[in-house]
Structure 1
């Protein structure tokens, strides 16, 4: 290339597509094939083309930013998802802003702040405990597109990207049952959370299909944190007849559970099998490494961002679109048949 400014036409020529296709690949990736999008991104890299975000945003009356609203930024579960979102937004010339729905006096404040075209071009919401009233249109405020990721709002037909949590919980519980365990406890997340509720549903379904009762004293409270996992371990230790297998509703609680047991001299999986849900980075580094359900977190972020860009480019597509990502059980050293380990 010569020293003149690289244009979208140069990218189109290098990729062997039209300028309109280049625009769609960068601004609405869900409307082109993955092969075409890769070809365009390679052409962008080869030519050195970069979007002039200030000029584009001025022409299109955009802010140049997408906001991810997460409940607890410190939660390591979100890291890979946010990286996936950023990988899609960056080539489109959009910045990713992150706000915590738990940081203020109520969850609704950040949602109302950013559901405003003057503050963001789109919102990806990870918090299913936000009041639906926070999403209601407001007089004089133009609302940007919104996509729910991982969690959802019951009764609201919003675009959503996630997994089948009930089916995933069944897979984990059935793994423990297939090992030969007939006494399986469950450590729950916050009781009002939709993930807690659907994962508990999957756990109960697996027990019922195996002809086993669901004992209330084997349902232990938690809140998705390491500390609540450790507290659940103390409760498990205090049970008169301890179940030999425990399914924790997320990996953080499972790691806290295992750590607290180790401090008391209880061996996993010799004395009790422990399984989690999510497959965060920490899961493979605890001792023993944690058996868990793998969520494709980066793929979740990529698909949520692609869906949002499609809605930004074509608001008329807005509706109850659901994209469900596949999951798989990752067997590691924290589970074993009774008497093994």
Structure 2
């Protein structure tokens, strides 16, 4: 008769801890967050798991921790390729960790703020990525103190504890205006983004700072307030047409605004870049196929999504982000909507 004891049919985490000569908490960390323990400890726990025949019960663990295996991405316009590209980055990272990404279009009537607050309070997700700058995250937290971890992608937060992944908008504006200055433009206008949001304010600030750095009077520059839409670009074009002294170049805070600006000028008989040079911001898919192909600032949108997902995963694993803000650098893409000032453009001064 053998002296060895029969193996337990349902070994527990306590059995693994005794075999590895570590605490049960260490076993849990080694199994669920292996990057938070040393290689030696991981190996000891792995050997103990094999010896005891322990099988990690993911379903039971999820019940204890209330894990859903899903995160929610709040998107203001799912049809906008800017946001769909960010989502691609989020989904790529989450797929590697077997996390589902649930998408909520926050501009749908069914997704009113009251409904969203109720949704958050039901613990239907492990974490949230917010891409809608209209949200007051501080307000959401006040209404729902037990919210899961939150990060933002492409937007800033009014809650300084929320990690963010964004593009350096100040740098992007500087690249756009510096390009126009290098072409010889001295009179440059700007179609803004939403000035209630930090990205829009940063692009305006970067526009003015670069003009000032070139010795131009930034406060006298033409500023057409917009909101990133085709309509705001079209309205800015009407404003440009009404001017006696028109700027020879315009930097738009989004490609969509640039498209609206150019199309309205075209209907009025003006040409880009012969009458006015135009620079956009985003480099969405159609930018290179527009007429004329649009010079613009490229946002690495997929990388923004990947960084946001990594920040969220770090929070879900019990860690803290190394930094509360990840800023990615944009770059200039030169196409045919910009050129040296043409003979038809009116002369003026900033």
TM superposition score normalised by structure 2 = 0.76
Counterpart in the other structure of 2:333: 330
Q: CA-to-partner distance for each residue in 1:150-175, whole Å, 9 max, x for gaps? A: 11124623211112111211111111
- Given the superposition, is the C-alpha separation of residues 95 and 110 from structure 1 closer, same or farther in structure 2, using an over 3 Å criterion? farther
The CA distance in 1 between the partners of 2:135 and 2:66, in whole Å, is 28
C-alpha distance in 2 between matches for 1:120 and 1:251: 33
Separation in 2, partners of 1:194, 1:81: 18
Find out whether 1:161 has 2:165 as its counterpart. Answer: yes
The 1:210–1:23 alpha-carbon spacing in structure 2 relative to 1, beyond 3 Å, is same
Q: Hey, what's the Cα distance between the residues in 2 that align with 1:210 and 1:70?
A: 38
> How many angstroms apart in 2 are the aligned matches of 1:155 and 1:143?
13
What runs of 5+ residues in structure 2 fail to find an aligned partner? Answer: 1-28, 37-56, 345-350
Query: How many angstroms apart in 1 are the aligned matches of 2:240 and 2:197?
Result: 23
The alpha carbon displacement at 1:113 in A equals 3.8
CA distance in 1, matches of 2:334, 2:58: 45
Residue 88 (str. 1) matches residue 88 (str. 2): no
Q: Deviations over 1:32-88 (max 9, x none)?
A: xxxxxxxxxxxxxxxxxxxx9867744642122211112233332101110111111
Give the number of the structure whose alpha-carbon radius of gyration is greater: 2
Residues 95-104 or 321-330, more deviating: 95-104
Q: Which runs of 5+ in 1 are unaligned?
A: 1-19, 32-51
Question: Cα 1:196–1:321, aligned 2, differ >3 Å: closer, same or farther?
Answer: same
Q: Are residues 1:62 and 2:42 paired?
A: no
Mapping for residues 74-113 of structure 1, pairs under 5 Å: 74-104=79-109, 108-109=113-114, 112-113=117-118
Would you say 1:123 and 2:128 are equivalent positions? Answer: yes
1:14 matched residue in structure 2: none
What SS does structure 2 have at the residue aligned with 1:172?
helix
Hey, what's the Cα distance between the residues in 1 that align with 2:74 and 2:115? 8
Instruction: Answer yes or no: is the 8 Å Cα contact 2:277–2:337 preserved in 1.
Output: yes
- The answer to whether structure 1 residue 308 and structure 2 residue 303 are counterparts is no
**Corresponding position of 2:194:** 190
Does the residue aligned with 2:135 lie in a helix, a strand or coil?
Answer: coil
CA deviation vs aligned residue, 1:128-162 (integer Å, no higher than 9, x gap) = 332244332557x6321100111112462321111
Rounded to whole Å, the distance in 2 between the matches of 1:151 and 1:121 is 20
Tell me, in whole angstroms, the C-alpha distance in 2 between the residues paired with 1:224 and 1:53.
45
Counterpart CA distance in 2 for 1:86 and 1:55 is 26
Provide the C-alpha distance between the structure 2 equivalents of 1:324 and 1:206, rounded to a whole number of angstroms: 20
In 1, Cα distance between equivalents of 2:119 and 2:178? 42
1:216 shift after superposition:
5.3
- Residue 271 of structure 1 and its aligned partner are, at CA, apart by 0.9
Instruction: Give the Å deviation of 1:254.
Output: 0.5
Matched position secondary structure for 1:302? helix
2:178 matched residue in structure 1? 174
**TM-score, normalising length: structure 1:** 0.78
1:261 to 255, 262, 265: 265
Q: Tell me, what secondary structure is at the counterpart of 2:293? A: coil
- In structure 2, relative to structure 1, the CA distance for the partners of 1:186 and 1:22 (3 Å cut) is farther
Give the secondary structure class of the aligned counterpart of 1:62.
coil
- How many residue pairs get matched? 299
- 1:335 deviation in Å? 0.5
Conserved 8 A contact 2:74-2:132: yes
Query: How far apart are the structure 2 equivalents of 1:340 and 1:83?
Result: 44
Are residues 206 and 105 of structure 1, via their aligned partners in 2, closer, same or farther at CA, if it must alter by over 3 Å?
farther
